[in-house]
Amino acid sequence: MPRATLTEELKLIESIVAAHPSGIGITAIEAEMAQGQGGKPNRRTLQRRLQKLIGEQRLTTEGESIALVYKLISGSVVPASGSMTLTATATAEAELYVPVSPEGAVIRDQVRLALMHRRPVGYQRDFLQAYQPGETFYLPEPLRLQLHEMGRTSANERPAGTYARDILGRLLVDLSWASSKLEGNTYSRLDTLNLIELGQVAKGKDAIETQMILNHKAAIEMLIEDADEVGFDAFTFKNLHAVLSQDLMRDPQACGRLRRRPVDISGTVFHPLALPQVVEDCFMQLLDKAAAIPDPFEQAFFLMVQLPYLQPFEDVNKRVSRIGANIPLFKHNLCPLSFIDVPEHAYIEGTLGVYELNQIELLRDVFIWAYERSCQRYLAIAQTMVEPNPLKIKYREALIQAVQTVVKGLRQPSPAVIAEVAQDHAAQADQAAFREMLTAALQQLHEGSIARYRLRRSEYIAWQHAQDHA
């Protein structure tokens, strides 16, 4: 079963405690969690989760030592099902939500029914096969035209990925934070900013949450840096999964590989495909269809619908779909989709509508609202941006190679070394400007920025060590 997010674990613990009005001890909580998760939770992790719930005034304690029990604080709201991963709850009504179409409202109401009232369903291969690129459209033409109007940028005639690079600093923080938040990550945007820009790990946060943020950052940089080469192909998506799932999979061998075993998703009556060969066949068919779709927004939304539905990887499928949905937007220099401020319940329920009903209208409502929100943010930012240095655009690849030459060669960033390296990477007329760019790049290099120069952390540390002992 896919790893539960922090939010999902907290909901599960809270629901277990709620079922014992007179209180329940940590050993009994462990036992009930083991039944639901298929394995006993780590005691120290469980203690941290319980302390977090106490700190949020959702739980309280009575007694001491071995007699200590946990109780639900009166007035706390607990999901009725207590299930993990994809739980549609009645509390969503009281939370922030996106504007919903009449069709979306019907889907929302259906997926909010108790599990016992929803019919179990398996993967419907016809849902994918019936889609014909260029003929079938999840996004009607007026909607696509509206999205193009919203997402158009001043970089539309420039090389692929130019606009994303122009707003890279903001995009790395926003998309890494917002996508992780949809997985239950509790990092704040400021925490995420400090981690990405300064390498500062937020105090009191789980190592898994930190790793999730860093994986998002690396995945986004990978797609933007290679915007000309990435596409809707197996190589791109397997590598995207490998980066997003690094150090987060129970089986490290599953990173970047299609799953070879069945998976279950708690909180839904949907059962994904089980046969590895069929998963692989559908995965290739999905990518072939995506590549053939003529409109970038239709491509993005098609991926958000079909990839999580197929569950081609053991875990991290929704993250792959959210980051992968930006590929056509990066390529066409359209405003990216950051998922900033997207309500978690709306996203989950839209996804459940696809899983259980093969209906896309609620998820489409979420997609449209999320994209409009992203456009408002980034187009406002673009108005205040300084025009990029044309030499930085001209020598972008050369600068990456020059930084690599210095770092991998364990060379000191002295004026003589800078001048020598610059001679090999820039025209004579641009030597002075290139030396300045290289000097600045090396001075600003840190663990949070090495991925943009395609450097490994071990290479950067070795270079730092060489400088310290020079």
Same domain, 418 and 319: no
Residue 355 placed within a domain: yes
316 is in an annotated binding site: yes
Same domain, 283 and 349: yes
Side-chain half-sphere CA neighbours of 322 within 13 A: 29
Predicted pLDDT of residue 338: 95
Predicted pLDDT of residue 225: 84
Same domain, 345 and 196: yes
Q: Please, are residues 318 and 180 in contact by the beta-carbon 8 Å criterion?
A: no
Same domain, 139 and 220: yes
Same domain, 373 and 405: no
Same domain, 371 and 435: no
Predicted pLDDT of residue 212: 96
The dihedrals phi and psi of 203, each to the nearest 5 degrees, come to -70, 140
Residue 372 placed within a domain: yes
319 is in an annotated binding site: yes
315 is in an annotated binding site: yes
Predicted pLDDT of residue 94: 42
317 is in an annotated binding site: yes
Domain, as residue range, for 26 = 6-72
Between CA 41 and CA 388 the distance in angstroms is 51
- As given in the structure block, the two tokens for residue 466 are 């060489």
Between CA 62 and CA 81 the distance in angstroms is 26
322 is in an annotated binding site: yes
Tell me, yes or no, if the pTM score tops 0.85.
Answer: no
Q: Residue 269: give its domain's CATH number.
A: 1.10.3290.10
Predicted pLDDT of residue 84: 37
Q: How many distinct structural domains can be found in the chain?
A: 3
Predicted pLDDT of residue 183: 93
Report the DSSP pairing between strands 121-122 and 270-271: parallel
Place of tokens 């030459």: 405
Low-confidence ranges of the chain (pLDDT < 70): 1-4, 35-39, 64-66, 74-95, 156-157, 380-389, 393, 448
Predicted pLDDT of residue 388: 54
Q: Residue 66: give its domain's CATH number.
A: 1.10.10.10
- As given in the structure block, the two tokens for residue 184 are 């239950």
Predicted pLDDT of residue 66: 65
- Residue (of 60, 110, 82, 103) closest to 8 by Cα position: 82
321 is in an annotated binding site: yes
Residue 350 placed within a domain: yes
Same domain, 287 and 424: no
* Dihedral sign (CA 388, 383, 158, 225): positive
Residue 90 placed within a domain: no
Same domain, 115 and 260: yes
Predicted pLDDT of residue 89: 41
Same domain, 298 and 159: yes
Residue 265 placed within a domain: yes
Residue 181 placed within a domain: yes
- Residue 78, SS3? coil
Residue 88 placed within a domain: no
Looking at the DSSP assignment, which residues form a beta bridge with residue 69? 62
Q: Please, are residues 159 and 228 in contact by the beta-carbon 8 Å criterion?
A: yes
Predicted pLDDT of residue 77: 45
- Residue (of 72, 70, 19, 80) closest to 47 by Cα position: 70
Same domain, 398 and 419: yes
Residue 1 placed within a domain: no
Same domain, 402 and 374: no
180 is in an annotated binding site: no
Which DSSP symbol is given to 103?
Answer: H
